Chain A
Amino acid sequence: MNKFLMSGNFIIGEAAIRAGCRFYAGYPITPQNELTEYMAEHMRRAEGGVFLQSESEVAAINMIAGASAAGARVMTSSSSPGISLKQEGISSMAACELPGVIVNIMRGGPGLGNIRPSQGDYFQATRGGGHGDYRTMVFAPATCQELADLTMDAFDYADKYRTPVMILADGMMGQMMEPVIFKKPKPRQYPEKFMLRGAGDGKSKFIRGLLLDPIDSEEHNWKLARKYEVIVENETRHEEHLCDDADLAIVAYGTAARIAKGAIKRLQDSGMKVGLFRPITLWPFPEMKLRALSEKVKRFLVFEMSTGQMLDDVRLALQGYAQIDFHGRPGGAVPTPAELANVVARVYSKKAQTVY
Chain B
Amino acid sequence: MITKVIFSGFGGQGVLMMGTSLAHSAMNQGFHVTYLPAYGAEMRGGTANCTVAVADEEIASPVASEPDYLIVMNSPSLFSFQTKVSARGTIFLNSSIISERPSRRDVAVYAVPCGEIAQDLGNTRVANVIMMGAFIKKSGIVKADTYLKSLETIMGSRKKGVAEINRKAFAAGFDFIKD
B89, chain A: closest CB distance, angstroms:
15
Whether the Cβ atoms of A175 and B37 lie closer than 8 Å is yes
Give complex CA distance A260, B61 in Å.
8
| Contact A265–B60 (Cβ < 8 Å) | yes
Shortest CB-to-CB span from B46 to chain A, Å, is 16
The residues of A that contact B24 with a CB separation of less than 8 Å are 5
Give A31 to B34 CA distance when docked, in angstroms.
Answer: 18
The minimal Cβ–Cβ distance linking A189 to chain B, given in whole angstroms, is 34
Return the contact of A177 from the options B34, B40, B60, B63 (Cβ within 8 A).
Answer: B34
Cβ proximity bits B48-67 to A, threshold 8 Å, 1 near / 0 not: 00000000001011110110
Chain A: interface residue total (CB-CB under 8 A): 25
Complex CA–CA separation, A171 to B36 (angstroms): 11
B58 to chain A: which residues have CB within 8 Å? 261
Residue B15 at the A interface, CB < 8 A?
Answer: no
169-225 of chain A: CB within 8 A of chain B: 171-172, 175-179
B20–A177 CB distance below 8 A = yes
Partner of B33, one of A5, A31, A115, A263: A5
Whole-angstrom CA separation of A334 from B39 in the bound complex: 13
Complex: how many Å from CA A47 to CA B7? 40
Q: How many interface residues does chain B have, given as a range? A: 10 to 19
- Is A338's beta carbon under 8 Å from chain B? yes
Contacts of B35 in A (CB 8 A): 5, 176-178
A338 and B65 form a contact (CB under 8 A)? yes
- How far apart sit A185 and B20, CA to CA, in the bound complex (Å)? 28
A209 CA to B24 CA in the complex, in Å?
49
B39:A171 contact, CB within 8 angstroms:
yes
Tell me the smallest distance from the CB of B74 to a CB of chain A, in Å. Answer: 22
A3 and B27 contacting across the interface, CB-CB below 8 Å: yes
- Please report the C-alpha to C-alpha distance between residue A334 and residue B27 in the assembled complex, in whole angstroms: 26
Are A258 and B61 within 8 A (Cβ)? yes
Task: Please list the residues of chain A having a beta carbon within 8 angstroms of any beta carbon in chain B.
Answer: 3, 5, 31, 114-116, 171-172, 175-179, 258-265, 334, 336-338
